[in-house]
Structure formats: C-alpha cells, structure tokens
C-alpha cells in the first residue's frame, strides 16, 4: 500500500510557509552560485532564451530542480527538528490509523 504524505498541523503551517519561502530564496541563491561556478556565466538560460540550445536549458532546469528539492528538504527537516526539540512533538501528523 502506498504511504500517504503527512500533513502538517494547522499551528505549524505558518512556520512551514516561512521556511518554504526561506528555502526557496536559499535554493535560488545556491542555483545562481552553482551555475556561475559551473558555466562561468552570470545568468542561467531560461526556457524562452532564443539563443540557447535545448541541452543548456534542460541542464539548467535539472540542476535548479535538484538544488531546490535538496534545499527545501533540508530547511523543512531543520524546522521540524527545531519544533520537535522545543515542543517535544513532531510537527507532522502521524500516518498511523488513517486509510
């Protein structure tokens, strides 16, 4: 049986929103820094850049997506861990007892 994704309790949602925003900002900075180091360019290609090849655009999208996922997971996990340490309760609802 597929495991359902845990939902955060209502009280944690504002914290999760702020952490998501911070994580997105950090991921964007990490991507720009990585792209600049990797390709020696200030600007990564955009899907609508007429002068860029498919490979460049897809590489940029893949790197950006991977970095975003890693940073967001790290920020979410750090936030949940901090909440659990300060309250003694993990901020996600348990999947036990639900269908």
Q: What is the pLDDT of residues 56-73, one digit of tens each?
A: 899 999 999 999 999 888
CA distance 75 to 9: 17
Return the pLDDT at 8: 55
Percent of the chain scored above 70 by pLDDT?
Answer: 82
H helical segments located in 1-99: 13-39, 54-87
Per the structure block, which two tokens stand in for 98? 């639900």
**Cβ atoms of residues 76 and 19 within 8 Å:** yes
Report which of residues 1 and 77 the model is more confident about.
Answer: 77
| Closest of 42, 62, 66 to residue 54, by C-alpha | 62
Report field, pTM of the whole predicted structure over 0.85: no
Token reading at 74: 């790290």
* Greater pLDDT, 96 or 34: 34
């Amino acid at each position: 049986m597929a495991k359902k994704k845990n939902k955060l309790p209502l009280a944690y949602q504002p914290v999760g929103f702020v952490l998501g925003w911070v994580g997105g900002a950090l991921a964007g900075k990490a991507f720009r820094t990585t792209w600049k180091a990797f390709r020696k360019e200030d600007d990564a290609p955009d899907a609508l850049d007429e002068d860029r090849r498919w490979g460049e655009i897809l590489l940029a999208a893949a790197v950006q997506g991977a970095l975003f996922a890693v940073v967001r997971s790290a920020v979410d996990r750090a936030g949940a861990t901090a909440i659990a340490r300060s309250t003694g309760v993990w901020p996600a609802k348990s999947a036990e007892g639900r269908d």
